[in-house]
Structure 1
Amino acid sequence: MLLDLRRAITVSIIFFVILGLAYPLAETGIGQALFNHQANGSLTAHGSERIGQNWDGPQWFHGRADGDDPTATGGSNLGPRSKELLDKYKERIAGLEKQGVTPHQDLVSASGSGVDSDISPAAAYAQISAVAEARGLSTDRLHALVENHVQGPQFGFLGAPHVNVLELNEELATLK
């Protein structure tokens, strides 16, 4: 019986070293070596490329981030007949119209996660005239900027074309 106990402890220690130390360290090393930017959160000067940011004012393109708290992820669980959801949509539509933005579905409805960093190209194009007016830039210049930031589906067939709002606004900040 003592021999069985010793074998069990030895096997446990071996598996702890392999699966508890060696494997996680190897995975971390591979991630850091091959995908350093992604493994460290895809961070830029203004936030993460993968987490939607809130941008104040009409001089910025706006995404689908819902609120200032990126930890408050998940859907609202409000159904299509919810008065609260309808009121939120009406409020968002009024805010967009006040800024001179044609309300688009991507801008009115929040993303499923609440922190989606991307919008559709149509939602980005809908904001061009308001951003151009606020910044004193030509709409043609902003149209070209948005066009340069349209990313196609992953691997050419997964998903839909999209625009990363953080990357778009970071380049917008460099324009004079």
Structure 2
Amino acid sequence: MQRGPSFEAIPTGLGQDSHGFLEDGYYEDGDGDYGFVEDAEEEESAAGDEARAPEENPYEHNHELRLINAYFKEVGMESLMRADEEIRNAAKIKECGAEKVRIEKRIRGILGKKNGRDSEELLSEARELLAGDADNPGLGKLKRLVCLYDVYTTAEARLKGRFVKANLRLVASLAK
């Protein structure tokens, strides 16, 4: 197979000016290497940029996009709430909160405590009492009240979580 003429066949000094540039935008770097002037300038600026810029991980950006897409996919799986469902859910959350307050008052009455204590502190004290005297038949009512309080707390958290997820779905669909 025959190749075209190479730059090595060009006699030195032909078409060169005093700066080493050939006519029509060509150059010779002195080592017998020829090329376009624009290419040489781009290579020099690219070499300077590479030296200054830290090396970026091309997969990091894709990883972030995958995380965002996974989040939107997860949020998208949650169904939106209709207006009547939102109203019912909010009412149930309010009922759970009211029942918890009512149960706290009954626990305070059993323990003989005043209203000044925090509910977490009160329940912690009730649980310690139940753990110490688990076989005491007089503490059965207290045990039932603490269990009921836990049930209402769990139900309230579940309902709030559903409400938040549905609203996140709405926000995510608007953000897209």
TM-score (norm 2): 0.30
Give the number of the structure whose residues are more often helix, by fraction: 2
TM-score (norm 1): 0.30
